[in-house]
Structure 1
Amino acid sequence: MTPLLRVRPMAPEVERSLKQRCALATPEDTTRGMFFRGVLEMVRQLGGPALEEECRKLLPEKRYLDFYSYPVTHFLQLSFLAAHLLADACGGFDEAHHRMGQQAAHDFLASVAGKTLRMLARDEPRLLLEQLPTGFRLSVSYGERGMTWTGPTSGCFTMKRNFMPPAYHEGVLAGMLEAVGARDVQVHGRDTGVLDAEYAVSWR
């Protein structure tokens, strides 16, 4: 008989953040299956099959289709547990969320929609960031995003009514920029509300 995996509890502040974000979601707030699959694959690679199975226990679906929509509350629960389980392997809870964001960027850009977005951006970082609000609309059903430029290779990317924590989207934005050849990418996010954040972005 396989022994039960003993998982230490999440930190109280992490539990509070997860519950608060889930409480603000509605049934219409959804995200794509590719992001579920990316998190589960990352957990399997970094933590092994036992940790992946621990994550799957949370989920009502046995299989996730890339461009089918699923409740964001399910993704929040999965990603917070995954970041908790992988905190030691990644160097911390926020660092694990950052890695998941990078994985999400990779998975999206590998999809048909992502390839189209990248083609429209002509692999130019500035054009990619200008197209990115459209990419988000193809990926999730909620929120508003916008880009304000502070220089040729710097700006502020804003997100409103967005459920994932800043560390996750620091990873998304960095992953997107690195994929089109940007160097020395810097992304620093900060909360401006419970579900709102802004990200200072620069590269060369």
Structure 2
Amino acid sequence: MALLYAGALPSRRKTGQAGREDMSTSRWNTMPMDWVKALEQMMELATSEDTARGLFLSRTLDAVRELGDEQSLARCQSVLGSQRLLDFVNYPVTLLVRLTIAAVQELGPRNGGAEQVLRMLGQKAAVGVMTSSVGSAMHTQAGGGNEHIASSIQAIYKVISNYGERSVEWVGPARGRLTVRRSFLPMPYHEGAMLEALARLGAQDARVQGRVLGPLDSEYDFSWRT
């Protein structure tokens, strides 16, 4: 099964009443991204009410354990302090962002850079979700059919996301667009997570192409072979 990554695309042309391109969206997709800086900016926008499942923190540590060394793992674990992680318990999203920054800094130089590491972290998180009781139920339901894959993608994001907004627009039987609003994880992370989830739901030759819309907003065109 081929999984094809794609980075930030040129901004889709958007017109307003005056018929001019949305320059703020264009700016996000024409400038090289410093993903660590982007994560730091995301963290500044978080509130005390924004939380993340422990599953995402645990799978980030798993990635560091597999791709890094003992020193890298120790430095990442120090971000958590004495915090005990349980998969479906909520933790401050700032803790997840801080851990993600540490993982990118530790793994990036030896694993293709920050963007590639973020994709791998997203992939690892999706493995955690899809092998959980929630993901297993979705996988059993999907059975490889297009309608079940489509409904499962929507259901998974609804169950695991407890901040921001997610919406899916279907433009064909095996093609859609996910819009993510107020997310504290960057575009490459979502690309990796979506590709892994689609693959585990039985999608063949899945493709995901992300586009940054703003500091906390992004959208993803995804498709698979029928």
**TM superposition score category, shorter chain reference:** 0.7 to 0.9
Distance 1:86 1:97 in 2: 10
Task: Find the aligned partners of 2:205 and 2:145 in 1 and give their Cα distance.
Answer: 15
* Corresponding residue number in structure 1 for 2:113: 92
Task: Measure, in 2, the Cα distance between the counterparts of 1:127 and 1:84.
Answer: 38
Secondary structure of 2:180 counterpart: strand
Normalising to structure 1: TM-score of the pair?
A: 0.87
Moved more, 185-194 or 57-66: 57-66
CA distance in 2, matches of 1:158, 1:145: 6
Question: Cα deviation per residue 1:91-116 (whole Å; 9 max; x = unaligned)?
Answer: 12111000111111110111112122
Aligned residue among 53, 67, 76 for 1:55: 76
Q: Decide whether aligned partners of structure 1 residues 46 and 57 sit closer, same or farther in structure 2, where only a CA change above 3 A counts.
A: same
SS in 2 for 1:58: helix
TM-aligned CA distance change 1:97 to 1:64, over 3 Å: same
Residue 64 (str. 1) matches residue 63 (str. 2): no
Amino acid at match of 1:85: E
- Kept in 1, the 8 Å contact 2:72–2:106? The answer is yes
- Tell me, what secondary structure is at the counterpart of 2:80? coil
Identity of aligned residues (%): 36
Corresponding residue for 1:190?
A: 211
Aligned residues: 193
Shift of 1:80: 1.9
Report whether the alignment pairs 1:17 with 2:21. Answer: no
| TM-score, normalised by the number of residues in structure 2 | 0.79
Residue 63 of structure 1: how far off its partner (Å) = 2.5
Q: State the partner residue of 1:140.
A: 161
Compute the displacement of 1:19 (Å): 2.3
The 5 A counterparts of 1:1-204 are 13-124=34-145, 126-204=147-225
Letter in 2 for 1:26: T
Query: Where does structure 2 lack aligned partners over 5 or more consecutive residues?
Result: 1-32
Deviation at 1:14, TM superposition (A): 3.9
- Tell me the amino acid that sits aligned with residue 186 of structure 1: R
Q: C-alpha offsets along residues 45-76 of structure 1, whole Å, 9 cap, x if unaligned? A: 11122101011111134421111111111101
Shift of 1:198: 0.5
Whole-Å separation in 1 of the counterparts to 2:188 and 2:199:
16
Residue pair 1:185, 1:201 contacting (<8 A) in 2 also:
yes
Change (3 A) 1:145 1:49: same
Q: Alignment RMSD, CA only? A: 1.9
User: In structure 2, what is the Cα distance between the partners aligned to 1:93 and 1:21?
Assistant: 16
What is the letter of the counterpart of residue 212 of structure 2? D
- Indicate if the aligned counterparts of 1:188 and 1:201 stay in contact, CA closer than 8 A: yes
- What is the SS of the residue equivalent to 1:146? strand
CA distance in 1 between partners of 2:132 and 2:70 (Å): 26
